[in-house]
Amino acid sequence: METTDLLKKVRKIEIKTRGLSRNIFAGEYHSAFKGRGMAFSEVREYQFGDDIRNIDWNVTARYSHPYVKIFEEERELTVMLLIDVSGSREFGSFEKLKKNVITELSAVLSFSAIQNNDKIGVIFFSDKIEKFIPPKKGKSHILRIIRELIEFHPESNGTDITEAVRYMTNAIKKRCTAFIISDFMDDNKDLEMALSIANNKHDMVALNIYDKRETELPSIGMIKLKDAEKGNYVWVDSSSSKTRKLYADWWIKHMGRLDVMFKKSGVDYVSINTNEDYVKSLMTLFKRRALK
């Protein structure tokens, strides 16, 4: 991609996603993703209504007048984006491919993070770790992430989310908030355990990206389907009601399995359709977390 075209794409995504994060998500993000706890800030004279459990007895004894400790939230977070760059992200049957939605979501979360003075880092993964961008602050860092999202070309087409989760758990020593942004087309049986272990150390959130055409097969006769990750082709008779039912049943089972896995591992998640506005889905997730 030429530099001029790349800069135009970066600018377009920046304008859209920075506006969303500033005008819509800023407050919800802050409420949904808490800091590391409360830290001592200062002492002041006791006022009616203050919690007596916060009285600083040493200062009170010194001045013969009650003083209380004031605590503030330790706001700064480290946010990690685990971004699926496998072959299946190239799928899309309407206006947007999965990878376009993943790019915009990643940019929105990145701008939301820096507006709250949080660090942001990225792990690109396929069936291996493709690239690790350590957490940092600042607009130039965000623009670098967006550039990578637009022009990154993975070495592999496969998917291994388990490997990515394990890598992050080992690479990030302090507690962080980690978003796994993927279509979760991965049947690795170890994923649930990896998510459970990671969620004990970090705050894990899953954004499941899917396309409507993955949920049902249209009746349009014989069609040639390609496995984007393995590269093999198969002919399917979509006019067969039995075939369409098998296809739909597989999708229902797949979504049910993901729901069980996320709940067992304690991971918050939301499913986002490429054909729908992801703003509503993210707001639902943020508000649900803020109530916890």
Q: What are phi and psi of 137, to 5 degrees?
A: -110, 170
| Tokens read off for 79 | 């946010």
Query: What are the per-10-residue average pLDDT scores of the chain (292 residues)?
Result: 61 64 59 52 77 82 82 68 87 74 87 82 95 91 87 89 95 91 89 95 93 79 70 76 86 93 94 86 81 69
Dist CA 231 CA 241 (whole Å): 26
pLDDT at residue 97, rounded to an integer: 82
Question: Would you state the pLDDT for residue 39?
Answer: 47
Q: Return the half-sphere exposure (C-beta side, CA atoms, 13 A cut-off) of residue 113.
A: 28
Instruction: Report the alpha-carbon distance of residue 248 to residue 116 in Å, rounded.
Output: 42
DSSP-based three-state secondary structure for 249: helix
Tokens 């990643």 locate to: 106
Q: What is the pTM of this model?
A: 0.76
What's the pLDDT score for residue 32? 56
Distance CA 140, CA 3 (A): 16
Q: What's residue 94's pLDDT? A: 63
pLDDT tens-digit readout, 73-85: 555 688 999 999 9
For the chain, the straight-line distance linking the first and the last C-alpha, in angstroms and rounded, comes to 44
The first and second tokens of residue 239, run together, are 């006019």
Helix 241-265 crosses helix 191-201 at what angle (to 10 degrees)?
A: 30
Q: Which two tokens stand for residue 82?
A: 């685990």
In this predicted structure, what is the pLDDT of residue 133? 94
Domain boundaries, the chain: 3-32+77-290, 38-73
What CATH number does domain 3-32+77-290 carry, 3.40.50.410, 3.20.20.10, 3.90.226.10, 3.40.50.20? 3.40.50.410
Could you tell me how many residues make up the chain? 292
